[in-house]
């Protein structure tokens, strides 16, 4: 019995490029497809999780939303890697600054991902797993950013299972100098990629600074993070 379509992705493997750009927001996926891709085709819209495949600079690229949180990206990345023959997923999301050195609209790339999630328990490992990005993707992306003249700060992301956190834990994470920003997906994406033998990376634009009370509005998050989008698109071109 074929694994596709799945309950979450109503498509065939040939509908997807080898590299998928994955924002959390379906409307950000739509914006990228309409703004940057040629001949973009809607390949998935189950539960409003929009996915489009087209070309950028002549190279096939897919952009598909992940929804919010590790359970959601865990489902979509697992299916893309294992059932739809996708090799690379680059999360292009938003994050809240933890480091005082980061300002709104700065771009960060997650070399690794700390987490308060129990996602790794499913693997039954005899220790604590440290989720890391694919070096191939990270090196390619930072080279592209340098070529474009767009600064990218590389370090660790904190992937939180909670958006509203009674423990006020961000101040504790701030003590760890290389933990740059908080988001909600990277750790699960990295673990899923590792288990599948595939490649993953999270790149995020700073949309807010929770410890300083600063934030951008929803429309800005959806439509204006174009530097991050262009870095990811040009990385997909380099990956072929």
Q: Active-site positions?
A: 208
Cα-based distances in Å from 132 to 31, 155, 166: 29, 10, 27
231 touches 144 (CB < 8 A): yes
Q: What is the three-state SS of 101-152?
A: CCCCCCEEEEEEEEECCCHHHHHCCCCCCCCECCHHHHHHHHHHHHHHCCCC
What phi and psi values does residue 198 have, to the nearest 5 degrees? -115, -175
List of residues 6+ apart from 38 with CB closer than 8 A: 54, 55, 56
Cα-based distances in Å from 122 to 118, 119, 131, 191: 8, 6, 14, 11
List of residues 6+ apart from 23 with CB closer than 8 A: 29, 32, 63, 65, 66, 91, 92, 93
List of residues 6+ apart from 136 with CB closer than 8 A: 199
Bridge partner list, 183: 159
38 touches 17 (CB < 8 A): no
| Token reading at 58 | 């002549």
């Amino acid at each position: 019995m074929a694994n596709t379509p799945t309950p979450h992705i109503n498509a065939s493997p040939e509908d997807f490029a080898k590299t998928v750009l994955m924002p959390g927001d379906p409307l950000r996926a739509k914006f990228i497809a309409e703004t940057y891709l040629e001949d973009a085709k809607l390949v998935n819209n189950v539960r409003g999780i929009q996915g489009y495949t087209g070309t950028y600079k002549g190279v096939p690229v897919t952009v598909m939303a992940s929804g919010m949180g590790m359970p959601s990206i865990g489902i979509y990345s697992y299916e893309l890697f294992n059932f739809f023959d996708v090799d690379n997923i680059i999360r292009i999301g938003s994050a809240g600054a933890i480091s005082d050195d980061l300002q709104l609209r700065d771009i960060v790339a997650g070399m690794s991902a700390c987490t308060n999630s129990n996602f790794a328990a499913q693997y039954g490992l005899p220790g604590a797993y440290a989720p890391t990005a694919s070096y191939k993707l990270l090196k390619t992306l930072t080279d592209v950013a340098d070529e474009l003249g767009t600064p990218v700060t590389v370090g660790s992301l904190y992937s939180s299972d909670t958006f509203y956190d009674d423990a006020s834990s961000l101040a504790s994470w701030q003590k760890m100098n290389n933990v740059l920003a908080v988001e909600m997906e990277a750790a699960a994406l990295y673990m899923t990629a590792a288990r599948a033998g595939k490649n993953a990376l999270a790149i995020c634009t700073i949309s807010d600074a929770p410890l300083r009370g600063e934030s951008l509005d929803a429309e800005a998050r959806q439509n204006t993070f174009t530097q991050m989008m262009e870095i990811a698109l040009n990385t997909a071109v380099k990956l072929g």
